Structures are given as C-alpha cells and as structure tokens.
Amino acid sequence: MNQETLLVGLAGVLAAAAPIIFAVLGETLSERAGVINLSMNGTILLTAMSGFAVAYTTDSLLLGFLAGMVIGALVALVVAFASITLKQSQVAIGFVLALTCRDLAYFLGNPFMGVSGPRLQAMPIPALSAIPIIGPLFFRQELSTYISYIVIFLAWLWIFRTRPGLMLQGIGEKPAAAYIRGANVNVMRYVYTVIGGALIGLAGPTYSLGVRAGWMGTISGLDGIGWIALSITIFGGWNPARAAFGSYLFAFLQWLGLVLQPVLTQVPSQVLQVAPFPLMILTLLLVNIGDAEWVERTLAAMPETTRKFMAKLLRAMRASPPAALGVPFERD
Amino acid sequence: MNVELKNIHKHFGKTYANKGINLSVRSGSIQGILGENGAGKSTLMKILSGFIQSDPGGEIILGGNSVVINSPADAIHVGVGMLHQDPLDFPPMRVLDNFLLGRSGGLFPNRASVRQDFLDLAKQFDFSLDPENYVDALTVGERQQLEIIRLLWMGARVLILDEPTTGISASQKQKLFITLKKLAEQGMTIIFVSHKLEDVEFLCSQVAVLRAGELVGEMKPPFDTSKLVEMMFGKVVTLGERQPAQTGETILALQDVSLEDVRLKIKNANLDLKAGEVVGLAGLEGSGQGLFIRACAGLVRPVGGKVFLKGKDLTGKPYHTFKRGGVNFLPASRLEEGLVPGLTLTEHFILAEEPTAVFIDRAAGQRLAEDRIKSYNIRGTPTSTVESLSGGNQQRAELALLQSPLSLILLEHPTRGLDIESVIYIWSKLKDRCKKDGAAIIFISSDLEEVLQYSDRLLVFFSGEVSEPIDAATTTVEQLGQLIGGKGWPQKGDVNA
Amino acid sequence: MLKSRLSGFIFQLIAFFLALGFVSLILVAVGASPFDAFKNMLNGSIGSMRKFAEVLVSFVPLLLVTAGLLITFSAGLWNIGVEGQIVLGAIGTTWVLRLFVDSSVHPAIVIILSIFGGMAAGALWAAFAGALKTFGGVNEIFGGLGLNFVSTALTLYLIFGPWKREGVASMSGTEPFPDVFALPQVPDLRISLWSLAIAGVAILIVYFILQGTYFGLKIKAVGKNIRAAYLLGIPTWQYSLYSFLICGALAGAAGALQVTAVYHRLIPAISSGYGYLGLMVAMLVNYQAIWAIPVALFFAALNIGSIQLPILMHLDSSLSGVLQGVLVLFVLLTEGVRQKFVKKV
C-alpha cells in the first residue's frame, strides 16, 4: 500500500468516526448529568432517515441536519420526562425507544429508500490542506468531520474547564452536593439530556448526508451503531478526549478489517467488522472487575503491601461512571 | 452576625423532628448544640442552612433581618454555610475544582487567581492542602478543612458544623478547634453540633441541648457534665431489674481481629462471647461498630486475626458459612437489607426455612405463617407484603425469620423508631430465643439506656478504637455517655478495676 | 389492592388507545388510512387459516424467548444478550444436525439431540453474559450486546466459511437439510404442532417455576432485593447464573426451532429480532407468565399482519414494530403517570 492510499484510508477513518463521535459525546453529556439515554441506536437510525428525507425534500442540507438534531432532542426529552419526572426505569424507556425509533425510521423512510439526494461535499481548507500528510489527512474533509473535531474540543473544554461544566460533573457525581452549591439538579438534567440528544441526533444525518449518503432502509448498515456508541461511552470513561480516542480506534479497526479482507480471504468481512467487540468486552471487564465482591474478599486475605498495590492497580484501570448515573434526585 | 431562630417546627409525617425551637446565637460566639441521635439537631441545622424548610410559622433572623432561606444557595447568599457530617464534596474531582465549584462568575474561571485565594486561605489557617490532589485521596479531616475554607471564600459569616469530629484524627481535631476559635475571634458565628461532650465543653461558649425535637436547656461555662448528660438523655434513668447472665459455652471468639474499610481501621479487637450472653455495642454512628458487627457475621473479611464460632475457625469464610453455623444478622435498614419488598410474609417465612424441596407447599406455608404471625404478635396477614407493615411489625417479622437452631443473633438498632411497647416485646422475644437455643446476642444501639438495660457486657467504639468489654451492671448512663463522647477513656484493661 | 389493580387496568387501556391514536396519526401523516391499515393487518393475520398458521410460526420463538426472559426479569436482570442466545441455539442445532446428517441414526433422535444441542449452546452463551456480570462486574446489558454482535459475526463466519454452501456462499444461508430432519408440519401449513407444543410447555414450566417452586421464589427474592436475599441465606450469584442459564436454554430452543421447524438451515438473520421483541413482551406482561401467551400472540399477529402492507398499501412492514414499540412506550408512561398522580391504595 502506498502512502497516497494509506492517507486516503486514514482520512476516511476520521470521517467515518465523526458520527460516532457525535453520538458518543452526546451520550457522555447526558450520562455526565446522570441520565442514561439508551435510545441511541434507534435515534441514530431515525435521524439518519429524517435528516435525509428533509434534506431531499427541501434540498437543504442545513435543514436536514437541523431536523436530525431536533428529533434527537425530542427523543431525549421523552427519556428525560419518563426518568426524571415520572421516575421510571431509564433502561426500560430507553430500550423501548431504541426499538421503536428504529422501526419508525424504516416505516417512515420507505418512500426515500434508495433515492439519490443531496450530500456533503469535501471542503478542503485553503492553505491547511496543502500541508503534506497533515493536509490530506485532516483538512480535505467534509464539513461534518471538521465539526466533529470542534465538538470534541468544545465538549472537553465545557466539562473540564468551564464553570457550568464543573457543575455538570458535580450533578452526575453527587447531586446533593451540587444542590447545596446552587444547582437546580433536575432542570440541568433535562437540559443536558436534551442537548445530548440533539448531538446524538447529529450522528444520523452525518451518515445519511455524508459518510454513507442516502437512505437504504434495513440495509443501511446503521443498525447497531448506537449500541457500539454506548460501549464506547463507557470505554471513554465519560471523558470526551478518551471517548474520541475510542471512536477513532473503532473506526480504525473497521477500516483495518476492510483493508485486510483481500489478504484474509478466509474470513468474511462481517467478522472483521465486529472484531472490536470482544476487545470492548475485555475492556469493560478490566474497568469493572475491581467492583466484584470476590475481588474484595480476595484482597482482604492478602498481605498488606500486596493489598495496597492491587487496590491501586484496579483503581488505575477502572473508569468510574458518574456515581449518580441512573439515580433519581430528590431534595430530602 | 447574630443568628436568631424563632418558633421552628418541623415534622415528617407523624414524627416531630423539631418542636417550637427558639435559639439565639451572638456574633463571635461558638454555640454548641448537644443531643443524642434523633434528637432533632440535624433537622434544625438543615433548616438554617436551607437544605429543608421549616413548617410555616417559624422565623430566621440574621443580623437583625428576617430572612427566607429556600435553598442552600439562598443560605450561603445570606452568609450561612454548613459543613455536613458526610462531607458533601466530589471525591473523584480535584481539590481546586471542589473549591471552585458553585462559585458564580464568568464562563471560564480564572484558575490562577482562584488557586491564589485557595492557597492564601489555606495558609491563614495553617492547612496543608494540595490544590491539585484528588479529594478521594484526602482524609475526612482534610476534606473538612477544604469545605471550611470554601465556605469562607463563598462569604459565610455563620458556619454550622455537623458532628465534625467524627472520623478525624486527634491532631486534625486540634487544628479544627484552633481554626474555629480563630474564626470566632474574627467575628464569625460558629454553630457546633455534636454529641461529644468533651468537644463541646472544650470549645463552646454556650451550649443548647435538644431532646426529642425540643430544646430542653442551655448552659454557659463552666459546664456541669452530669447535668448536660441528664439533659441529653432525660431524667435520671431507672434501669429495670437486671438478670444476671447465664453463661455457657463460648459461642464467638475474636482474637486480635483487625478490620478496614474506606474510612476506619479497627485494630486488634478481642471478644469472648458465651452462650446466653448479650453484648451491646455503643458509640457514635460510624465509629466502627457497624464494621465490627458485619465482621462477626462474616460479611466483612478481617485483614488480620482469627474468628472462631463455637470453637471452629471461620476466619475469612463467607457469610453463608457463618449462617449455617447459626449466625443470624438483622441489619438496621429493614426494607433495604433485611426484608424483600414485594414478597409476602408467607413467602419470607418459606424462604427462611431454606427449603430443599422443589414445589412450594402452600398449605404448610400458610400454617407456618399463621403460626409465626401469632407467636410473634405481628399485625398483618400471611399475604401482607412486608412493605405494607408498620416498622414495629417489620421488626417482629424479622425476628420471626430467625432460623433455628440459632447460635448468635447480630442486631443493628433492633428497636430504632419503635414505640415502647414494641421495644419491650422484641427484647422479651430475643431473650427467649437466646435462652431456648443457647444463643448469644450482639447488638448495636444508639440508645444508651437500651444498651445498659439489655446487655451483660458492652463494647464502646470511638473513632475505630474499641474498648475492652465493660460490665454493664456497674456502668451508669452518664459514664457511658462520656465514654462514647470520647471522654474518660481508660487505658485498655483498667475499666473494671 | 383491588382498586390499584383496577386503576392499573384502566391506565393500560388508556395506553392502548393512546398507542392506536399515535400510530393512526403517523399513518395519516404519510397519507394512509389508519382504518384500512388496521383492517389489512387484521386480515393479514387472522384472515385465513394459512395466515394464522404463519402467526403461530412467529408466535413460537417469541413465546419461548419471552418465557426465558420472564425468569431473568424476575431475577432483576436485563438479558439483552438474548438475541445472541437465540443465534447460538440455531448454531448449536445446525452443528448437531451436520454431525448426523450423513449418519444412520434415526432422524427423530437427531432432531431431539439437535434441539438439546441448541439449548445447551444458548445456555452457554447466556452463561458468558452471566459470568461477566457476576464475576467481572460488567453490566449484563453491555456484555449481552457485545455477545450479540459476536454471535452474528459467528453466524456469518460459519455461513461464509466452514459451513458454506457447495459452490458459492451466500446470504441465503447454509445448505438446507433434508426433509427428514425437519419437525413434521401440519399438512399445507408451515406450522409444526411439535414446536407449538414445546413453546406451550416452556411457558407453562416457567409459570410453575415462578408461581409454585422454591426455586422461583428465590429467583424473585434475588430480583427484588439482592442484599436481603443474600442475608436470608440465598446464594445470590448462583441464582443469577441459574436464571441466565434457563433463559439461555429457552432462547436456544427458539433458535433450534427456527432451524428445525422453519428454515431448515442456518441463515444470517436467524434470530429475526425475536429477542428484542421478547424483551418488550416480557416488559409488558410485568412478570405475569400467563399473560405472555395472549400478548406474544398479539405481537406475532402484528408481525405477520404487516407483511402484506407493502403490497396492499405501499407501507413498510415495520409498522408492526412501530405499533408494538409505541404500545409498550405508552404503557410505561401511563404507569409512571399513575404512580405519580394516583394515590396508592
């Protein structure tokens, strides 16, 4: 493989990761506030379809992306209402929405199947795109890819560097402590769930108006992306930088699968494409195993120095979710 | 700033947490609030700090102005800051972020200047806190220090501290007291909530005592300890007739057992418990007695020492091995840990029998339930779900679940929140089971009278320290009250001398 | 108690009509007549014996999966990995059938063996998710999802790899097995009474496990309060694993029947989404095993009834999924409203 194709391939990885990044960061924001939005898989499909449909009908890419964000926000609003106001199980409501939105996408998208519509074009950035290697890699992308770079940075900046972002961390960690510091916990949870939903809703049009332009119904190949994004959220440890790394890693592994296919003719492409999954399970295992009771008991039986070392090791590996994730907040 | 509380009432459902409390605290003074667990201290302070609101009719006057405090944010706005017993901070975040969180200002906080403010304040009180450290790496004492300077930075002029000396080291306590005195000299109003007599007497310029939701008395130095104890725990206590312990074989033996959890370390606890004996564990909540009783149940694995049940070494064995040996544990939170909400009484009794058959014998279950309901005087039917029972009846149901044969009953707050009738009933049942099965009892209670009344010996816990077993018959409520407050601790071994 | 049950029923009725109303709105929005759509769905599912037989074909795996999920739900577990457990059931069955396809063993015995093989494979796959949960602290939702993807990949690998058809491998699946290895079907209809019987027996067994056995009672205790169950002496982690095993075995049976009674081969989409649909049915019936029968039948009827919509009305057949999902959604929401605004009796 020469350098040219390698660069094109890697640039493709950056583009393919963009929608995943939107979804993962949207979920990260929502979960940082304490709300799991499990509807993601359905939301991505529904927004991909509706984004494409709107862009096709109005011939406006902007309206297509906007439609995706609005629908993503609306679905998230249902999750927020059911879990925050009605105190129903976030898992149940999210799961049902995941399935319903998926079927709704297939149902409503029927007339748009296979039609060719508008799509984003590559937008090389003057000057920057001329830089060797870096230029073709980063700066000859579609607009959505540039936006994904910005969103990673903004999300990271917001969570870790701004005042409201600090409060967001607090709300997901210990709502009571955030409350005594002046946060209106439940209102903020609504706000972040809806904003997160809008970001997830950006993922769909990024597929249907860019990375995988068009709407192909059940063979769009988008079913499952949302579940992948959920695992990457955990892998990312609720940190936008680590989450972006996870998204790129995933997109890279998928690309690698395609590249290796001619070499490994024995292995069907679908197998290579799910190769990240056993890895993902292994990662989740490593970040979670410290919580298991048998580990605790085994540790107690060890001599003091080993105990301290092991405890430290497990602690370093683990990615702690926001402590109040999924826990309703009441003032008293 | 002077603080005045007028006619503060607060009730939760049927229980009154505060009944018409009037209290006034002068600027520059350190006001102690004394009272046993559940006396209403925390409720009163939560009202002042905006965490909860009092019933209509009460008034809070700060510096001469009547104020309405609807939230903690309101409270700090008018200058009232509270240091909670369990620090309300964010353990996985950095010290500086914790310090900064909640302070209003621009989108991007100026970390350099915040850091400078932080270091200045820390230096002023001689706290050595690293702003870049993570809070979960700090001790409870350091977390308090962080919270104190945060509240000062937020503009607190009234500082409420709820049981601040629980779980901190002696040197940290000393530093805390120096800080508080310094703050009072600067004109701050300090409200110090505790039931540690020693601390209150040492620190406070005035003490108010709460009991059962009411303010029962106030005192200025010099303090009369025995009078304070009497105010805290009610009139001179009349102990019922004690029965001498009928002791038999050794049930449980702990040899140099060491325990650890995130907050506490207990070192080298020893106990030799005989059949028929009742041992009470006294101490402020979170002093180590919970960890101790869970270790006796096999729920916590000791990091050192040996645990023997009826002569068998069970060190490090799981809870179910202990349970097969006849150890039953009744936790404090009945609906969270003790019973299964959603299941009926019959289903509980069936489960507790540890059935080995396949199909449920409904008729037998029904008979069993009716029998138990009768003999434990439970107000409920076999098909009542446990959450529909009253607290006293839930506790009776838990007793009715005790397996037989039984060798050791471990109870956490067996009578908390129960009316006197239930208390007497439950203890008579417990003593019955004890006698019948040749079992022993270990229980935790924050009710000192209960501890003295029903135990033969007792262990006192104070910040992870465990006393040698003390003879309950020769101990008075006053002595015990001082001991759990950390006062008058003898060298180990001297207690009965 | 009676009053709360009554209010629950009323709210479920409200939810049902809200769902119908919502879906009607969607239909109107796409320019279709809701009345015609519902009529066609009704016709398409129970309009003829043949169609109803198709409903039953769809009902069998759905009921089996739901039966299994009732056990894991009772144990407080979200066994989303059930999709993969169906797939593994199908793989296990195909594997056993392939082993014996050229042997002289009596086909009936081979079929029985293959179904047990499928159940074992499903249970094994569920045990993975269970072990990840109980020993590794990996939430069963994520462990399960990951295993679902792995199982799909495994199917594709087998279809395109070691088990590929003579000539060219294709998405149409492995080489079909000879007819003697199929469960006997009712003449002219695709439904096998055997598989119907297996599903019926499964739901009855689950009903009795949950209603009448100590085992079921312990499972319920673990699901409702795992701490208290542990203190009462129940080895909770074992019971969590048992519930995974049972659910996996039943899901495996569903996969096995898809191979032996419906497709007679392994195809890529062998699970057909019955796992996720089963989760919805189990959610809807709220631990009441007997109700699983009518609800699963209703959901299966929606599935089959919508198949003809593309031809008759140019509507996508996923309308059934929308209706099913919206129905569960409204049931959840109205239940939330009831808990919040109606005083508990």
* pLDDT over 50 (residue C234): yes
* Residues of B with Cβ-Cβ distance to A332 under 8 angstroms: 52
Model pLDDT, residue B173 = 82
- Selected residues 72-91 of chain A with any CB under 8 Å from a CB in chain C: 78, 82, 85-88, 91
* pLDDT over 60 (residue B342): yes
Using the beta-carbon criterion (under 8 Å), do A180 and B318 form an inter-chain contact? no
Model pLDDT, residue B431 = 87
* Residues of A with Cβ-Cβ distance to B76 under 8 angstroms: 182
| Residue B88 near chain A (CB below 8 Å) | yes
Q: Could you tell me if C4 and C125 lie in one domain?
A: no
* Residues of A with Cβ-Cβ distance to C150 under 8 angstroms: 274, 277-278
Using the beta-carbon criterion (under 8 Å), do B104 and A182 form an inter-chain contact? yes
| Residue A318 near chain B (CB below 8 Å) | no
Any domain includes C174: no
Lowest-pLDDT range of A191-195, C215-219, C338-342: C338-342
pLDDT class for B493, splitting at 50, 70, 90?
Answer: very low
Q: Could you tell me if C2 and C55 lie in one domain?
A: no
If you measure CA to CA, which chain A residue comes closest to B53? A332
Amino acid at B226: S
* pLDDT over 80 (residue B416): no
ipTM over 0.95: no
Using the beta-carbon criterion (under 8 Å), do C235 and B358 form an inter-chain contact? no
Q: Could you tell me if C105 and C60 lie in one domain?
A: yes
- From the CA atom positions of chain B, what is the Rg in Å? 25
Sequence-ordered strand ranges (E) for chain A: none
In A80-103, which positions are buried (b, 16+ CB within 10 angstroms) versus exposed (e)? bbbbbebebbbbbbbbbbbbbbbb
pLDDT class for B246, splitting at 50, 70, 90?
Answer: low
Any domain includes C116: yes
If you measure CA to CA, which chain B residue comes closest to C224? B340
To the nearest 10 degrees (0 to 180), the angle between helices A225-235 and A276-288 is 40
Which candidate in B70, B101, B134, B300 is best for mutational testing of the A interface (most A CBs within 10 A)?
B101
Lowest-pLDDT range of A9-18, A186-195, B458-467, C244-253: B458-467
Q: Could you tell me if C12 and C68 lie in one domain?
A: no
Question: If you average pLDDT over residues C278-306, what whole number do you get?
Answer: 92
Lowest-pLDDT range of B313-322, C29-38, C134-143: C134-143
| Residue A107 near chain C (CB below 8 Å) | yes
CB B433 within 8 A of CB B425: no
Q: Which chains are within 8 Å of C by 3+ CB pairs?
A: A, B
* pLDDT over 60 (residue C102): yes
Model pLDDT, residue C304 = 94
Model pLDDT, residue B235 = 55
Between B and C, how many CB-CB pairs are < 8 A? 63
Considering only CB atoms, B88 lies closest to which of A174, A297, A320, namely A174
Using the beta-carbon criterion (under 8 Å), do C224 and B342 form an inter-chain contact? yes
Considering only CB atoms, A182 lies closest to which of B73, B92, B105, namely B73
CA C209 to chain B, closest CA, distance in angstroms equals: 8
Question: If you average pLDDT over residues B376-388, what whole number do you get?
Answer: 88
Share of chain C above pLDDT 70, in %: 98
Any domain includes C307: yes
Quote the tokens at residue C78.
């979200």
Which residue range is the domain that position C296 belongs to? 43-154+180-312
Considering only CB atoms, C153 lies closest to which of A93, A266, A271, namely A271
CB A117 within 8 A of CB A55: yes
* Residues of C with Cβ-Cβ distance to A278 under 8 angstroms: 146, 150
* Residues of C with Cβ-Cβ distance to B380 under 8 angstroms: none
Model pLDDT, residue B37 = 66
Using the beta-carbon criterion (under 8 Å), do A284 and C30 form an inter-chain contact? no
Q: Could you tell me if C238 and C303 lie in one domain?
A: yes
pLDDT class for B496, splitting at 50, 70, 90?
Answer: very low
Lowest-pLDDT range of A21-30, A126-135, C196-205: A126-135
| Residue B316 near chain A (CB below 8 Å) | yes
* pLDDT over 80 (residue A314): no
Model pLDDT, residue A221 = 80
Query: C343: how many CB neighbours lie within 10 A of its CB?
Result: 7
Q: What is the pLDDT of chain A when averaged over all its residues?
A: 88
Domain count, chain C: 2
Question: If you average pLDDT over residues B36-63, what whole number do you get?
Answer: 87
Predicted structure pTM score = 0.88
Model pLDDT, residue B169 = 67
Euclidean distance between the first and the last CA atom of chain C, given in angstroms as a whole number: 6
Q: Which of A236, A200, A198, A248 is nearest to A23 (CA)?
A: A200
Residue indicated by tokens 């140099």:
B256
Q: Could you tell me if C48 and C129 lie in one domain?
A: yes
Any domain includes C173: no
| Residue A303 near chain B (CB below 8 Å) | no
* pLDDT over 70 (residue B490): no
| Residue A315 near chain C (CB below 8 Å) | no
| Residue A30 near chain C (CB below 8 Å) | no
Integer Cα distance of A177 and C111 in angstroms? 62
Using the beta-carbon criterion (under 8 Å), do A95 and C279 form an inter-chain contact? yes
Q: Could you tell me if C102 and C225 lie in one domain?
A: yes
Which candidate in C208, C213, C232 is best for mutational testing of the B interface (most B CBs within 10 A)?
C232
* pLDDT over 50 (residue B238): no
Using the beta-carbon criterion (under 8 Å), do A274 and C137 form an inter-chain contact? no
- Selected residues 123-182 of chain A with any CB under 8 Å from a CB in chain B: 161-164, 166-167, 169-170, 173-174, 176-182
Question: If you average pLDDT over residues A139-160, what whole number do you get?
Answer: 94
Amino acid at A112: F
pLDDT digits (tens, 9 = 90+) for B150-188: 999 999 999 999 888 766 666 778 889 999 999 999 999
Integer Cα distance of C300 and C199 in angstroms? 14
Q: Could you tell me if C209 and C228 lie in one domain?
A: yes
* Residues of A with Cβ-Cβ distance to C141 under 8 angstroms: 38, 91
- Selected residues 233-272 of chain B with any CB under 8 Å from a CB in chain A: 260
pLDDT class for A15, splitting at 50, 70, 90?
Answer: very high
Any domain includes C163: no
Model pLDDT, residue C345 = 39
Spatial neighbors of B12 by CB under 8 A, at least 6 apart, are none
Spatial neighbors of A34 by CB under 8 A, at least 6 apart, are A171, A172, A175, A189, A322, A324, A325, A326, A327, A329
Highest mean pLDDT among A317-321, B480-484, B490-494, C48-52: C48-52
CA A183 to chain B, closest CA, distance in angstroms equals: 8
pLDDT digits (tens, 9 = 90+) for C51-71: 999 999 999 999 999 999 999
Lowest-pLDDT range of B129-133, B214-218, B444-448, C243-247: B444-448
pLDDT class for B495, splitting at 50, 70, 90?
Answer: very low
Q: Could you tell me if C73 and C222 lie in one domain?
A: yes
Question: If you average pLDDT over residues B197-221, what whole number do you get?
Answer: 89
Q: Could you tell me if C60 and C86 lie in one domain?
A: yes
Q: What is the pLDDT of chain B when averaged over all its residues?
A: 86
Quote the tokens at residue A145.
């890819």
Q: What are the structural domains of chain B?
A: 3-233 (3.40.50.300), 237-326+404-497 (3.40.50.300), 345-402 (no CATH)
Any domain includes C110: yes
Share of chain B above pLDDT 70, in %: 93
Using the beta-carbon criterion (under 8 Å), do B101 and A170 form an inter-chain contact? yes
pLDDT class for B343, splitting at 50, 70, 90?
Answer: very high
Question: If you average pLDDT over residues C190-200, what whole number do you get?
Answer: 92
Lowest-pLDDT range of B53-57, B136-140, C283-287: B136-140
Integer Cα distance of B115 and A315 in angstroms? 27
Using the beta-carbon criterion (under 8 Å), do A177 and B318 form an inter-chain contact? no
- Edge-to-edge order in the sheet of strand B65-67: B15-25, B3-12, B59-62, B65-67
Q: Which one-letter DSSP state was computed for residue A122?
A: B
Q: Could you tell me if C224 and C270 lie in one domain?
A: yes
Question: If you average pLDDT over residues A87-115, what whole number do you get?
Answer: 93
Model pLDDT, residue B492 = 46
Any domain includes C159: no
Q: Which of B472, B415, B461, B408 is nearest to B434 (CA)?
A: B408
Q: Which chains are within 8 Å of B by 3+ CB pairs?
A: A, C
Question: If you average pLDDT over residues B313-317, what whole number do you get?
Answer: 90
Model pLDDT, residue B453 = 86
* pLDDT over 90 (residue A38): yes
Residue indicated by tokens 């409870």:
B140
Using the beta-carbon criterion (under 8 Å), do B52 and A320 form an inter-chain contact? no
Q: Which of C43, C53, C47 is nearest to C187 (CA)?
A: C53
Model pLDDT, residue A164 = 95
Q: Could you tell me if C55 and C195 lie in one domain?
A: yes
